[in-house]
């Protein structure tokens, strides 16, 4: 009996010993794997920093500001024939220095091209490019694009210069490790690490690009620098930070490199970026609009006006349409449509999908070139105003009776035919072509029924007639 008990204890001891050894080995293996994983990441950071820092440059700028000192007593003591008697000599021009970063993206013969932000070099008189290895060159502006905050400068050399490897920003995932490289506060070749915090961010009052958000530390001077993935590829151009005091709080934003690659070729070959143009005046679909037009749950860009002789007008896009797809891409809102059009090439034929009066329609159109005139007032726009339904709250505030009308003019496009006729914001639309407007959906149906519209409006109790030609 004692022998069996001893054998039992012996077996328990051996089993406990083996479990302890197994646990120790398992813990040791896991610890070793953890160390290897951390070591692999560390080695990756080292390799990326070594390879990419040479392609990121410091961009120093100077803006020469002319200053003139005025004698406050000059007016009282100026004598005829002696106009310069009390003039004080002109002061020396003030040299305002600026700082940023840039990425060497291409070389053609002796010209080496550096991509940076427009706000780094906008309006400056002198540009100096400082390379990682200490070489300094005089830079010259090739072209700039304030719509996307991009600019290209170049310097000339016959010597060897490293060129950045550009990645695919569409393949970036939220949570990916990234490094930000630049010259924050003048500390050149600074490397910080973080992750991609979000994609597709809007910001900085620019609708022609979206942004990659990162918590990699970015400060003043990082603008124009590189955001790099673990393959050492540049996947973004660091552009701005969100901060209440101007310092880093982990909210940095970079232009995706895919949004910049076409700009590089346009800058070199044309000196400026050529954008595609659709020719619509648009906005987001509000809950009220969606309810009035039976578009609840839908997303897209709502069309208010169509520019004359535009691709949109030629393709028969109409006011009141909701654009939901363009060139195979889903359109979430008006900013999304702007970015999508900006990413396409002028002259490109693309499919477009929209919703009109509850029906899904597929169209094809050929995009045109966006020009300065098309951003201004030299193009006719149809109908030249936006409308809104008259809610019960609005009726009470504006004292609009129910038999006055159901739709009013929200805004009028400056210098449009509607503006020239005298239509005003707040005018209540009673009828189009003799038919009383029942609601917003009915308004767009009547508006799109022809090219010549007779509009009867009520303005502060007075009824006025206008004729609007498309």
Q: In the Cβ-directed half-sphere of 199, how many Cα atoms lie within 13 Å? A: 13
Give the C-alpha separation, 151 to 148, whole Å. Answer: 9
Q: How far apart are the first and last CA of the chain?
A: 110
- Residue 294 designated active-site: no
Cα(191)–Cα(101) distance, integer angstroms: 12
Q: How far is CA 282 from CA 106, 238, 376, 417, in A?
A: 37, 29, 15, 18
Which tokens go with 170? 């569409």
DSSP state of 440: H
> What is the residue-wise DSSP string for 48-103?
HHHHHGGGEEEEEEEEEE------TTHHHH-BTTBTTTTPPPPPPPEEEEEEEEEE
Q: Which of 144, 169, 217, 223 is catalytic?
A: 223
101 belongs to the catalytic site: no
Q: Which of 149, 210, 266, 427 is catalytic?
A: 149
Considering the candidates 101, 119, 145, 416, report the single residue annotated as catalytic.
119
Inter-residue contact 435 to 446 (CB < 8 Å)? yes
Q: List the one residue out of 232, 213, 185 whose CA is nearest residue 55.
A: 232
Active site residue 245: no
> Which tokens hold the place of 303?
């069309």
Query: In the structure encoding, which two tokens stand for residue 322, read together?
Result: 């909701």
457 Cβ contact list (under 8 Å, min separation 6): 409, 423, 427, 428, 429, 430, 463, 464, 466
Catalytic residues: 119, 149, 223
């Amino acid at each position: 009996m004692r022998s069996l008990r001893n054998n039992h204890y012996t077996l328990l001891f051996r089993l406990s010993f083996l479990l302890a050894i197994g646990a120790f080995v398992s813990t040791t293996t896991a610890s070793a794997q953890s160390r290897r994983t951390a070591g692999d990441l560390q080695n990756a950071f080292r390799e990326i920093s070594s390879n990419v820092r040479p392609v990121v440059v410091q961009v120093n700028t100077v803006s020469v500001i002319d200053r003139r000192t005025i004698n406050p007593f000059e007016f009282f003591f100026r004598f005829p024939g002696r106009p310069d008697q009390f003039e004080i000599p002109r002061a020396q021009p003030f040299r305002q220095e600026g700082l940023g970063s840039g990425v060497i993206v291409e070389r053609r013969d002796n010209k080496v091209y550096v991509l940076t932000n427009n706000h780094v070099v906008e309006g400056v008189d002198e540009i100096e490019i400082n390379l990682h290895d200490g070489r300094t060159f005089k830079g010259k502006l090739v072209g700039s694009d304030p719509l996307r905050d991009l600019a290209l400068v170049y310097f000339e050399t016959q010597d060897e210069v490293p060129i950045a490897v550009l990645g695919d920003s569409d393949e970036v995932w939220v949570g990916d490790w990234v490094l930000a490289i630049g010259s924050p506060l003048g500390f050149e070749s600074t490397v910080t690490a973080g992750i991609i915090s979000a994609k597709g961010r809007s910001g900085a009052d620019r609708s022609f690009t979206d942004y990659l958000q990162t918590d990699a530390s970015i400060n003043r001077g990082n603008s124009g620098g590189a955001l790099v993935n673990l393959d050492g590829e540049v996947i973004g151009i660091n552009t701005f930070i969100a901060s209440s005091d101007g310092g880093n709080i982990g909210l940095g934003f970079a232009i995706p490199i895919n949004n910049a690659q076409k700009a590089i070729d346009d800058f070199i070959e044309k000196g400026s970026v050529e954008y595609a143009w659709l020719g619509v005046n648009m906005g987001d679909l509000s809950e009220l609009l969606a309810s009035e037009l039976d578009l609840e749950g839908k997303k897209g860009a709502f069309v208010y006006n169509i520019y004359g002789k535009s691709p949109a007008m030629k393709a028969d896009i109409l006011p009141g349409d909701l654009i939901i797809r363009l060139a195979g891409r889903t359109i979430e809102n008006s900013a999304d449509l702007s970015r999508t059009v900006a990413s396409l090439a002028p002259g490109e034929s693309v499919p477009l999908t929209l919703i009109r009066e509850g029906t899904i329609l597929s169209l094809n159109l050929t995009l045109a070139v966006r020009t300065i005139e098309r951003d201004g007032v030299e193009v006719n726009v149809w109908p030249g105003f936006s409308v809104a339904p008259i809610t019960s709250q609005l009726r009470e505030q504006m004292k609009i009776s129910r038999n006055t009308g159901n739709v009013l003019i929200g805004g009028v496009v400056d210098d449009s035919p509607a503006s020239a006729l005298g239509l005003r914001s707040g005018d209540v639309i009673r009828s189009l072509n003799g038919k009383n407007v029942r609601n917003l959906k009915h308004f767009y149906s009547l508006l799109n029924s022809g090219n010549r519209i007779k509009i009867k409006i009520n303005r502060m109790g007075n009824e006025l007639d206008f004729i609007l030609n498309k």
